[in-house]
């Protein structure tokens, strides 16, 4: 009446079904008929700068950084988390910035979050911002659609008004 199909049957496939062609660099290519799901990419863990570490100099990465110590220099990253015991003296440029500790300098980020334990002395340029109750902040806040594009320039001021107007 019904017959079992070999398509869904576990176990080794016929040699013709599993053959793939190798490229010159040894990687395997798949034919259009293959429906093998690819393994998800494993996200690298954040780099952690421990509380007993002091860095003098700039840090640049495309990954994530969690700072628990002291950094005297600029930091550029994808996600930067400033720990409660951390102090950063320099400019921060990141897609996402979470400040739990102290920052002395400009913060530029698509998403900037100051938690209740944050202490920021400097200007913040952001696309979105969240400031929790209890955070200390001294500086100006400016919203830009692309706050990462102008890392070193200063905002243009309006021309002075002629006297008497």
Residue 102 is assigned to a structural domain of this protein: yes
Residue 42 is assigned to a structural domain of this protein: no
Residue 22 is assigned to a structural domain of this protein: no
Residue 117 is assigned to a structural domain of this protein: yes
Number of domains forming the structure of the chain: 1
Residue 157 is assigned to a structural domain of this protein: no
Residue 66 is assigned to a structural domain of this protein: yes
Residue 69 is assigned to a structural domain of this protein: yes
Question: 149 falls in which pLDDT band (50, 70, 90)?
Answer: confident
The residues facing 129 across adjacent strands are: 112
Say if pTM beats, i.e. exceeds, 0.85.
Answer: no
Q: Which tokens is 144 given?
A: 């830009």
Taking the CB of residue 40, how many other CB atoms lie within 10 A of it? 6
* 72, 40 contact by CB (below 8 A): no
Residue 9: predicted pLDDT: 53
Tens-place pLDDT, residues 33-46: 555 556 566 667 88
Question: 12 falls in which pLDDT band (50, 70, 90)?
Answer: low
Return the SS3 of 85: coil
User: Domain limits at 113?
Assistant: 47-143
Eight-state DSSP code of residue 143: E
Separation of alpha carbons 84 and 119, rounded Å: 9
* 88, 105 contact by CB (below 8 A): yes
Taking the CB of residue 89, how many other CB atoms lie within 10 A of it? 16
Residue of 63 and 155 predicted with greater confidence: 63
Which residue in this structure is represented by tokens 């002091």?
Answer: 54
Report whether pLDDT(16) > 60. no
Residue 87 is assigned to a structural domain of this protein: yes
């Amino acid at each position: 009446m019904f017959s079992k199909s070999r398509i869904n049957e576990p176990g080794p496939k016929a040699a013709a079904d599993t053959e793939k062609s190798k490229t010159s660099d040894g990687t395997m290519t798949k034919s259009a008929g293959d429906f093998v799901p690819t393994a998800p990419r494993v996200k690298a863990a954040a780099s952690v700068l421990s509380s007993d570490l002091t860095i003098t100099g700039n840090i640049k990465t495309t990954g994530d950084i969690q700072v628990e110590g002291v950094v005297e220099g600029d930091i550029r990253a994808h996600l930067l988390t400033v720990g409660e015991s951390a102090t950063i003296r320099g400019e921060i440029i990141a897609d996402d910035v979470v400040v739990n500790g102290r920052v002395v300098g400009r913060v530029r980020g698509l998403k900037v979050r100051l938690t209740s334990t944050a202490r920021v002395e400097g200007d913040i340029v952001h696309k979105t911002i969240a400031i929790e109750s209890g955070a200390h902040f001294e500086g100006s806040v400016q919203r830009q659609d692309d706050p990462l594009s102008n890392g070193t320039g200063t905002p243009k001021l309006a021309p002075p008004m002629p006297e008497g107007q």
